[in-house]
Structure 1
Amino acid sequence: MSATHETSSFESAHIPVPRQVAVAVAYRFITSSDHVQPRVEYLIVSSRKHPASWVLPKGGVEANEISDHGSAALREAWEEGGIRGKVVDRLHESTDPKAHRAVTKLKIFIPRAEYSFWLIRVDEDQMGLDSASWPEKHERERRWVGREEAIELVRWREDGAVDALMKVDETALVHSSP
């Protein structure tokens, strides 16, 4: 019997880690002309890979944000949409339905990314819509839309954005508005 220990390919393989992605579900209130009840709108931005398609602002969590993904969502809202806001709540978590590229030999499913969705309130004084520049201004378009339109426009991504938007309690938001 041999004294040497042979490791299996599974034991010696590097197990990949899903990319951590923070997603901004940024909203604002628009007062209706009758001033009865404000309307809630959500920020969507054009996708860089698919310019005719829309996404929620999102991006990788940086090393200094590992313990605070909400800060990463705020940063992405600024970089991609030119807005600043305040984190209200963690809404939702999901995993990418696509497997990490490095797992083909392991025969196990490891998602390519793990998403955390953060509800971000944008007040008029934080809107930044008049700002001359933000990091991705020349790479993306931005729009403010109602929830139903946002859901239809981001549905193609299959990253959990629809579920996150559905979890927003707009009635509670309106009642908590100033």
Structure 2
Amino acid sequence: MTGKAVKRSARSETRQVAALPWRIGASGREVLMITSRETRRWVIPKGGRMAGKTDPQAAAVEAMEEAGVQGEIAQTAIGAFRYAKRLRGGDVRNCVVAVYPLKVLIQLGAWPEAAERERRWMSLEDAANAVMEPDLAEMIRGFAGVALDD
């Protein structure tokens, strides 16, 4: 292979990981949503896979950096969703994101991306209505029925 960058085919997808931070609130399970840095849409903490870390560990790192939360990360994904990531040059990269529930035990007052994002606890229905990705919305709505160590 030469030193040239390898161009991805239009059909290839970038694999990412995400955390779905949750807690038990007054009306049952709630999830912590954050805004994306550029479009300010409601999303969940996500990012690329990390060398030397399992996918659940990488998802937990994203939750701490992007949402300022720490806790117990599930070792099994509850599902995956797809989205089209807009790159700075205007290109679009298709991504598939495995989602790992994170039971929040610590919510920090200051965290690495606090100045760049808003975070808000939402009911499952409100969170599902707030996201733009249909697969993610369906996963959030179905999270009430996912067996976890509440």
Q: In which range does the TM-score fall when normalised by the shorter chain?
A: 0.7 to 0.9
> Which residue identity lines up with residue 106 of structure 2 in the other structure?
M
Provide the residue aligned with 1:167 in structure 2. 142
Instruction: Count the aligned residue pairs.
Output: 137
SS in structure 1 at match of 2:78 = strand
Runs of 5+ unmatched residues, structure 1: 1-12, 33-37, 99-110
Runs of 5+ unmatched residues, structure 2: 1-5, 86-92
Q: Work out whether 1:64 is the aligned partner of 2:56.
A: no
> Which residue identity lines up with residue 128 of structure 1 in the other structure?
Q
Structure showing the higher helix proportion among its residues: 1
1:61, CA displacement in angstroms?
1.3
1:171, CA displacement in angstroms?
7.5
Indicate the RMSD between aligned Cα atoms, in angstroms. 2.7
SS in structure 2 at match of 1:96 = strand
In structure 1, C-alpha distance between the alignment counterparts of 2:95 and 2:146, rounded to whole Å: 31
| 1:117 paired residue among 82, 86, 99 | 99
1:112, CA displacement in angstroms?
1.9
Q: Work out whether 1:151 is the aligned partner of 2:140.
A: no
Matches within 5 A, 1:23-172: 23-30=18-25, 32=26, 39-51=28-40, 53-65=41-53, 68-88=54-74, 89-96=76-83, 112-122=94-104, 126-129=105-108, 131=109, 133-154=110-131, 156=132, 158=133, 160-170=135-145, 172=147
Structure showing the higher strand proportion among its residues: 2
Deviations 1:5-49 (A, max 9, x none): xxxxxxxx855453221111110012x4xxxxx621101001111
1:86, CA displacement in angstroms?
1.0
Moved >4 Å (runs of 4+)? 13-17, 170-173
Q: Give the greater-gyration-radius structure (CA).
A: 1
Matches within 5 A, 1:4-15: 15=8
